Amino acid sequence: AGSMTAGQPLRIKEMTPDAVRLAAAANPRLILPVGTTEQHGLHLPLGADSIVVERLADDLSAEFQVLRAPTIEYGVNDSAERSFSGGASVRRKTLRRWVTDLLPGWERLGIAEIQLLTMNGYAPHLEALGTVVAPNVTVRVIDILSIDFGSLVEHPDDPIHGGEVDTSLLMFVRPDLVRAEAAVDCILPEQQLRRYRRGSALWLPPESIGSIGRSSKASAEKGRRL
């Protein structure tokens, strides 16, 4: 009773207690997706980051039969996001405390390693997750935006926020949520580009509608490769 179909994601919220215990005994690891609710331009949904990390968490859970916890939908956003409607942010200590408070329950379950899967290169967000500690559990923070995109996209050094990378990922994962006709490129001059640093403040030029980079270069095929 309560067993899950082989090859399917092990989503805790859809499982019975005995199924969760059996899965934890077989593989004492857990994936916790940590998303954000923030704008990425007029062409992408506010939950873009959450949607992508949930899909990746489901795929990893299904492939490796690792438990997948419910997603934390809010993260630490840059102050530049406050001028756009719909998004919301929490403080660093709030996010850190939220995750820390969850750990004892998973420790009692026998979980030995928790992987915090996120898609937000903003330094305070990663700092909040990176300072989560537990005496008997290994906590790993994995920011999927920190990988080397190499030849996967045409402009791997561009700012990511709502640009080629973000838009391509959503075109592959949830094409029904992408308004390609509303995408507008925002290509920073070299001098301004040097001011933009991944992990520091999100610097939006006055002409930006919320995104930075070349969203027009995005495609579902690039998203698949990513």
Q: Please state the separation of Cα 30 from the chain's center in Å.
A: 16
Q: Which of 102, 94, 60 is nearest to 76 (CA)?
A: 94
Residue 27 has pLDDT above 60, yes or no: yes
- For range 109-118, the mean pLDDT: 97
Partners of residue 115 on adjacent β-strands:
31, 140
Residue 200 in this model has a pLDDT that exceeds 60: no
In this structure, are residues 68 and 11 in contact, taking their beta carbons and an 8 Å threshold?
yes
Burial class (CB in 10 A: 0-12, 13-18, 19+), 21: middle
Section 164-179 average pLDDT: 96
Half-sphere exposure of 165 (CA within 13 A, CB side): 22
Does the pLDDT value for residue 132 go beyond 50? yes
Q: What is the pLDDT of residue 140?
A: 96
Task: Please tell me the pTM assigned to this model.
Answer: 0.89
- pLDDT of the residue at 203: 62
Give the pLDDT confidence score for residue 1 in this predicted structure: 32
Mean pLDDT check: name the lowest of 22-26, 64-68, 79-83, 183-187.
79-83
pLDDT band at 206 (very low <50, low <70, confident <90, very high): low
pLDDT digits (tens, 9 = 90+) for 81-102: 666 778 899 999 999 999 999 9
